[in-house]
């Protein structure tokens, strides 16, 4: 069974850092691109960042560019999100999600087919 | 930046009736090199992560009931549930994908309830 399990969420004051992790199982992790998507309280889904199968292509939403860093360790079937200079508006449930494709710029994009349960990040003093 | 606008924001439909959710993109989501519209639909039930329902506008994900149908082209798309079931109560999101640079933009969501 395919699984994605996030960890590392918590309550942090504005300006501080947090690192999210996501461990994958049940599929060949290094065959696929993976992403972080968040849902703020009372809001809709927002794509945050994505990374291709071999880390050769990395993209960020404008709202987090320069503050967040995505990375992956295929040997450990793991995805990470380093979040620096956190703001109140970063408060959200952060989901790790698997792409159907290996690449971020591929013509085969067919959506995000597996999702974790999410890690809650609260930025507040 | 592409903006995805869903309508309505919320919808109440009787069991067994048809439900239609619309999604409009501020730019075409047609990828000319392969004539695919990169429009995806997700379902999110309370307390659960989103679930992929439909991709490439109208291709149902494996295991998704055939009462869920997607249609449209260019900038205007729809998700139709032909006969609403109680388990379909959820928030539905459309999402577009653009290739250069890669961007994944969601609509604001449509909350579907039973009348």
To the nearest whole Å, the CA of A63 is away from the closest chain B CA by 12
pLDDT, position B31: 86
Selected residue with higher pLDDT from A123 and B29: A123
Are B107 and B17 a contacting pair, CB within 8 Å?
no
Is B32's pLDDT higher than 90?
no
- Which of B1-5, B7-11, B88-92 has the least mean pLDDT? B1-5
pLDDT in tens, A49-104: 999 999 999 999 999 999 999 999 999 999 999 999 999 999 999 999 999 999 98
Q: Does B30 touch chain A (CB under 8 A)?
A: no
pLDDT, position B102: 86
Other CB atoms within 10 A of residue B63 CB: 8
Are A46 and B106 a contacting pair, CB within 8 Å?
yes
Q: Do A47 and B31 touch (CB under 8 A)?
A: no
- Percentage of chain B modeled with pLDDT above 70: 100
pLDDT, position B10: 98
What six digits make up the tokens of A119? Answer: 């890690």
């Amino acid at each position: 069974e395919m699984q994605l399990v996030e960890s590392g969420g918590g309550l942090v004051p504005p300006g501080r850092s947090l690192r999210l992790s996501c461990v994958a199982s049940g599929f060949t992790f290094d065959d696929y691109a993976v992403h972080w998507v968040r849902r703020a309280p009372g809001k809709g889904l927002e794509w945050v960042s994505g990374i291709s199968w071999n880390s050769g292509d990395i993209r960020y939403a404008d709202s987090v560019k320069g503050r967040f860093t995505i990375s992956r360790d295929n040997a450990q079937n793991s995805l990470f999100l380093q979040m620096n200079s956190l703001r109140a508006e970063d408060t959200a449930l952060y989901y790790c999600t698997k792409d159907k494709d290996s690449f971020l710029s591929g013509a085969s994009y067919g959506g995000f087919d597996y999702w974790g349960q999410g890690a809650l990040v609260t930025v507040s003093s | 930046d592409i903006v995805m606008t869903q309508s309505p924001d919320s919808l109440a439909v009787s069991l067994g009736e048809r439900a239609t959710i619309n999604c409009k993109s501020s730019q075409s989501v047609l990828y000319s090199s392969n004539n695919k519209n990169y429009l995806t639909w997700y379902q999110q039930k309370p307390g659960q992560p989103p679930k992929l329902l439909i991709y490439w506008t109208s291709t149902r994900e494996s295991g998704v009931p055939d009462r869920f149908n997607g249609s449209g082209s260019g900038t205007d798309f729809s998700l139709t549930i032909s006969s609403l079931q109680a388990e379909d109560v959820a928030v539905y999101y459309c999402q577009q994908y653009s290739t250069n640079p890669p961007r994944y933009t969601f609509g604001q969501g449509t909350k579907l309830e039973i009348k």
